[in-house]
Copies of this chain bind each other. A is one copy, B any other.
Amino acid sequence: MEDIHHTCKWGTGEQWGEAATETGMSRLALSDADKQARDWFVETTQALGCKTTVDEMGNIFAIRPGLKNDKPPTYVGSHLDTQPTGGRYDGILGVTAGVEMLKVLADNWVETEYPVGVVNWTNEEGARFPMSMVSSGVWAGSIPLEKAHNLREVHPGTATQKSELERIGYLGTTPASYEAMPMAAHFELHIEQGPLLEMANKKIGVVTGVQAYKWLTVKVKGRDTHTGTTDLKSRADALLTASKMILHSHKLATAHGALASTGILNLKPGSTNTVPGDVTFSLDIRAKKDSTVAELKALVERNFPKIAAGEDIDSLNHGCTAGLPLSVSITEDFDSPAATFHSDCIHAVQQSALSVLGPNSNSLVMEMTSGAGHDSVYASKRCPTSMIFVPCREGVSHNPREFCEEVDCATGAQVLLESVVRFDRM
Contact = CB atoms under 8 A, between A and B. Distances in A.
Contacts of A223: 396, 399
A154 B276 CA distance: 15
A274 interface: yes
A230 B193 CA distance: 8
Interface in A244-274: 244, 246-247, 250-251, 253-255, 259, 261-265, 267-274
Give the copy number: 2
Given A224-B398, A237-B261, A229 B272 contact: no
18 contacts: A83-B273, A127-B272, A154-B272, A193-B229, A224-B398, A225-B399, A226-B372, A226-B397, A229-B370, A229-B397, A239-B263, A240-B262, A247-B247, A250-B320, A251-B319, A263-B273, A264-B271, A314-B319
A414 interface: no
A69 interface: no
A127 to B, nearest CB: 4
B259 A250 contact: no
Contacts of A277: 85, 399
A395 B255 contact: no
A149 B299 CA distance: 50
Contacts of A276: 262-263
Contacts of A242: 243
Chain A interface size, under 10 / 10 to 19 / 20 to 34 / 35 or more: 35 or more
A284 B227 contact: yes
Contacts of A267: 264-265
A91 interface: no
Q: Which 9 A-B pairs have the closest CB atoms?
A: A194-B229, A229-B371, A227-B261, A243-B243, A251-B319, A193-B229, A127-B271, A85-B269, A228-B372
Nearest to A279: B265
Interface of A: 83-85, 125-127, 130, 132, 154-155, 192-195, 211, 213, 215, 223-232, 234, 237, 239-240, 242-244, 246-247, 250-251, 253-255, 259, 261-265, 267-277, 282, 284, 286, 314-316, 318-321, 370-373, 395-400
B265 A398 contact: no
Q: Which of A125, A227, A251, A264 has most B Cβ within 10 Å?
A: A227
A192 B234 CA distance: 15
B227 A259 contact: yes
Contacts of A224: 85, 398-400
A161 B192 CA distance: 48
A272 B280 CA distance: 12
A46 to B, nearest CB: 32
Contact of A246 (B125, B127, B228, B239): B239
